[in-house]
Structures are given as C-alpha cells and as structure tokens.
Structure 1
Amino acid sequence: MKKTLLSLCLSLGLLAGAQAAQTDASAAPKISAQTLHNLSWTPLVPPVTQEVTLGGTKIDQGEIQGAVAAFSLPADRGSLEIVLTSLVTGKTVYAPNVLVLDEQMRPAAFYPASYFPYEKPGLVSSDRLEGTLKLTPALGQKQIYLLVYTTQRDLQSTTQMVNPAKAYAAGVGNAVPDIPDPVARHTPVGTLSLKVSAEQKAGNVMIGQLFPSSEPAAAPAMIGDTAKPAPEAKPAEPMLAESDDYFNGAIKKAVQAGEIDKALKLLSEAERLGSKTARKTFIDSVKR
C-alpha cells in the first residue's frame, strides 16, 4: 500500500511537468534507516544560499562512497526550488547524487549525477555541475530531507570542461581557438552551493503521501530543539454550501489543468474554513 501511494505522489509531480531526468527513488542505492537517523541534518530555511565544504561526514555503504551532505527543509511553506551547484576546484569536482526523503525518512525522489550536467563558466560564475530540483511537500508534513552523496561509479568518471580561453572568446564574439579542453577528475570531497527558495509554480515533484496510509509509520525524526506544542485550535464551523461548491469546483479545475500545487492550496484553505468535502473532491479528481 505504501509503495502504491508513494508512486502515485511521484506520478502527480511528473504529470505536472517535472523534468524527465528525475527517477523513481527505488533506483537509488539502499541506505539503512540507522545510517539516516545518525546523520547530522543541517536545517535550511528559505530563502537561503549556503556553501558547504564536504569532507567531515562520510558514508561508505554499498555503492555510496565518500563525503555526504545532509539537509532538512521546511515542508509547510509551499513548493521549494533548490539550485544545487558543485563547484569545480582546479581540475577536480564532486559529482552529486540527491536522495529526497519525506518526513518519515522514506525515499521519495532520486536525482542521479546525470541530472547535474556541466555548466561552462560565465562572467560571474565558474566551471560547475548544476541542477534545479522543484519539490512540493504533501500536506501535513513539517519537514523533508535532502541527502547529497557520490558513488563508486561516479568516482571512476570525469567531466569534460571548456577551456577558459574558448569560453571567453565565445562570450565576446571572437573566433574560438582550437585548443584542448581540460578534464575534471571526480573526487569523494568537494564544495557545494545550495540556493533554496519557496515558490508557487507548478511542475514540481510531490514529496510524501497525499492520502492516509493504513500502515503504521515510524515517528518522524525532528531536527533541533522540539518546541512546546501550541494549544489545539478550535474546529472550524461547517462551511456554507455555496462556499463548499465554489472550492470543490476550483479544485476540480486545478487538477484537470495539471495545477496540483494550486489544487493543494485550495484544499488546505477549504479545510481551514471548515469544508468536509474538499479532500474527497481532490482525491476523486486526481484518481480520474
């Protein structure tokens, strides 16, 4: 049941236009739950740009080899856009793979190293591997997780770069010289830059389960201090029939248009105002 629900969530993101390079999380190397829970997860609260030097935390398990970076992201601030950059240092670079986990630390999406292609230097940027992740956490979660690692296969590969003289000549419109291009060796350490922003666009990959599961879930792993829970809110009064009809119609139209993120926001607002039918409308619309 769990796998079915997770696959459906990923399918919704793909139907909304997610990039084809994203693959099923089942394709990622297996990592034990104990290893995941033992990692120190660095919280990133958007908007934020953070540079990380890899080397302190490592995983040598199965295909995974070398330094890793572990981040937690808020799941209650709408959709997230994450630009992940691995900077070329000299003639070496770290080839990143990204595993996205939901609040229960279940694998939800996987981005292999091929998702982060080489980008030649520009006026204000250097040689790098770079890719953009667009994620939409499912309702009811507080946080999701991002694990960046490299593999034995990646370490055996290299990245063909562009000679700086060629890049400059092309940039200013001069004839490109016929000179060899350098090659960057892949290493188990490196430097990453992450730019995280909350955004309202469609086309994101759904992270977590949209519908309740009949299987018990492990307690979520919280990062940092656990705040005292706020007093329970008073249940909203039942929504007027006219308002209920309006939200249900808007949800149906959003799902039919592939605007899953918009439909989720309408669902959230409708339930906050007391709707008892919006969730069923959303689920039925998705199934159709």
Structure 2
Amino acid sequence: MKIMKLTLAALLTASLVGCASSPTTEMVKDITVTQPACCSSYSEFAWIPMSGDSIDFAVDEYSQIGEFPEGKSYFAGFVLPENVERMRVDLKSWMRTSGVFAPKVLLLSPTFQVVESYELTDFDFKPSSLFQLNSYHKRFEMNQTTTPYMVVYSPLEYREGQIEVPHPERIRAEELGMARPMVTDPIIQHQKFGSLELDMKPTALRSYRASDAPKATVVTQPKPAVAAAAPVATTTATAASVAVAAPLSAKMLPESEAFYNSQIKAAVESNDMQKALTLMEEAKRAGSSTAEATFLELIKK
C-alpha cells in the first residue's frame, strides 16, 4: 500500500511538472524591462492590503515597475492591515514550465526605509507535492511598528539565472530506495514575470478604543483588464491583485486611494475613458474622496 501511495504521488507530481524536462531552447526568455519606472521613491508605490489568509498574485505586464538599487523590475507591494500588529508570512513563487519569478523581498519601515531584505539565497527550494508545484519559499515576520510594508521584485541578476529541479522519477526512486534512474533534471528559467502566493497568519492583533477603531473593509478581487495594455509604468493591478472596497459610510484608506488613482491614471493615458469612468465610480462608492478630482484633473491635461 505504501508503494502504491508513493507511486501515485510521483505520477501526480509528474503531471504538475508537465513538460518541464523539454529543451529550454524552446522557451522564450525575455528579461528586459523597457518601460519607465512608475515612481521615484518607495513612498509613491501603490500597496495591496494583506487581508485574509492567502493572496494569489501575479507579477506581469500590468504590475508596477520600480527603480531599485539593482535597476528596474516589475514588482508587487503589500501593506499590513491596521488591525494586525505582527504577521507571519510565507511567500512562494511557483515554478512552471514557462519559468519562475526569482524573488527578492524588501521590508520597509513606516517611513519607507529598508529595514530588512531577503535575497534569493535566503529562499528554500520546496519540492512539488500532490497539489502544489515546485517553488521558491521563504517564511518571515512583518511588524506594524517596524516593517509594515513589503516589496517583492526580481533584480536583473536573478532574471538572468535558472534553477535545476529534481526530476519526479528521481524523487520517486529515492523515496522507494531504488537506484537513481537515467533521467535529466528539468531546468526552469528565471523570468521577469511569474505566479506567486502569500500565506498569512496574524500572530498579534492591535486593540483600539471604540472611537479610534479603523473602519471595516471588505477585500474584493477586481476583474482582469480586457482592453489593450496601458503603459506598465502607471498600472498596478494584476489579474490576481487585491483592492479594498469600504462601506459607503467609511473613508477609504490612503493605500486604497493610491491604488484607484493609479488605475484611473493608467486608463486615461491609454485613452480608455470608459474604464477610467468605471474605476472612478467604483472608487467613489468605496469611499474615495480623491478619485473624481484625479479623473477631472487628468482629462484637463
């Protein structure tokens, strides 16, 4: 029975890896970032609130572009919710046949100074399981007082690299105590885009007096953009990005104001006025006090 279970696990793992052992010459590797950076400082980034237990997100052509010490990179930015004092975070970057996003993480202070950074060498390789792909994995803790902001990006040096992962048949042979088979371990190329996941567990919550408690927010998932892609330098959303919509009576959080305003700006600059209007109305319903002014100012230019 044990052998049957191990064999089943190996077969399912092989199906998850797919064609990863196919020649890497067939894969297109474009690691250049040609669009201008969105912002001149970390304080100008748009931030996704870290609500819920898990966030699946993509770094893709719709993501922000930042100017980092190593050069430009597409990135995703996250911020702790106001009611969380400390959060344990597991970041995973999935290894697919098309490649993997080799991450570097910056943890920023409330004044947007770099407090902690995690290089690719700090990440572990996590082998695939029955229901998950191979991944880069790192666990760390964020703190509302010292490190409430997180940036995930990939420097050019990382994007130029690759990783060799164990072949499923070799893993199965090792589990069964068999001789190593004559197989070639797949090579996964590092890319400028990729699919990632955050698993989050608050380890300490913040308490408030009733008069000082932050307004409740509802996490929603915006629809992926269907129009032609706007200049990446001014967009922030991915197909799996998370926005915040507050009740009609609540005032929108500053990071959510920045998120909507950047999306409105991107839509206007790409001449997609219908999308800009839709975003403005959505932001107003969610409690934004600046979205309409932002839209009117942009169309005057």
Q: TM-score if structure 2 supplies the norm length?
A: 0.51
Cα offset, 1:125, TM superposition: 1.9
Q: SS of 1:58's equivalent? A: strand
User: Contact (CA 8 Å) 1:49, 1:194: kept in 2 or not?
Assistant: yes
Does 2:125 align with 1:118? yes
Q: Which of these residues, 92, 104, 114, is aligned with residue 107 of structure 1?
A: 114
Aligned to 1:198: 202
Paired with 1:34 and 1:104, the residues of 2 have a C-alpha distance of: 15
Paired with 2:40 and 2:254, the residues of 1 have a C-alpha distance of: 15
Where structure 2 has 5 or more consecutive residues not aligned to the other structure, the ranges are 1-36, 205-252, 259-301
The ranges of structure 1 where at least 4 consecutive aligned residues each deviate by more than 6 angstroms after the TM superposition are none
58-67 or 150-159, which moves further after superposition? Answer: 58-67
Deviations for 1:168-220, whole angstroms, at most 9, x for unmatched residues?
333455443132211111111111100111125xxxxxxxxxxxxxxxxxxxx
User: Contact (CA 8 Å) 1:100, 1:108: kept in 2 or not?
Assistant: yes
Q: Which of these residues, 54, 58, 66, is aligned with residue 59 of structure 2?
A: 54
Aligned to 2:158: 154
Residue 53 of structure 1 aligns with an amino acid whose one-letter code is A
User: Contact (CA 8 Å) 1:157, 1:186: kept in 2 or not?
Assistant: yes
Deviations for 1:95-134, whole angstroms, at most 9, x for unmatched residues?
1000011222121111111111222212222111111012
Q: Which of these residues, 42, 45, 49, is aligned with residue 39 of structure 1?
A: 45
Cα offset, 1:64, TM superposition: 3.5
Q: 1:1-288 maps to which residues of 2 (within 5 A)?
A: 34-45=40-51, 47-55=52-60, 56=62, 57-74=64-81, 76-138=83-145, 144-171=148-175, 174-199=178-203, 222-224=254-256
Residue 94 of structure 2 aligns with an amino acid whose one-letter code is L
RMSD across aligned C-alpha pairs, in angstroms? 2.8
User: Contact (CA 8 Å) 1:118, 1:159: kept in 2 or not?
Assistant: no
Paired with 1:101 and 1:60, the residues of 2 have a C-alpha distance of: 15
User: Contact (CA 8 Å) 1:95, 1:129: kept in 2 or not?
Assistant: yes
Paired with 2:142 and 2:83, the residues of 1 have a C-alpha distance of: 12
User: Contact (CA 8 Å) 2:58, 2:195: kept in 1 or not?
Assistant: yes
Q: TM-score if structure 1 supplies the norm length?
A: 0.53
Where structure 1 has 5 or more consecutive residues not aligned to the other structure, the ranges are 1-30, 201-220, 227-288
- Pair 1:157–1:59, CA change in 2 (3 A): same
Deviations for 1:258-279, whole angstroms, at most 9, x for unmatched residues?
xxxxxxxxxxxxxxxxxxxxxx
Paired with 1:33 and 1:106, the residues of 2 have a C-alpha distance of: 15
Paired with 2:172 and 2:129, the residues of 1 have a C-alpha distance of: 8
Q: SS of 2:116's equivalent? A: strand
Paired with 2:109 and 2:174, the residues of 1 have a C-alpha distance of: 43
- Pair 1:71–1:135, CA change in 2 (3 A): closer
Aligned residues: 172
Residue 114 of structure 1 aligns with an amino acid whose one-letter code is T
- Pair 1:32–1:92, CA change in 2 (3 A): closer
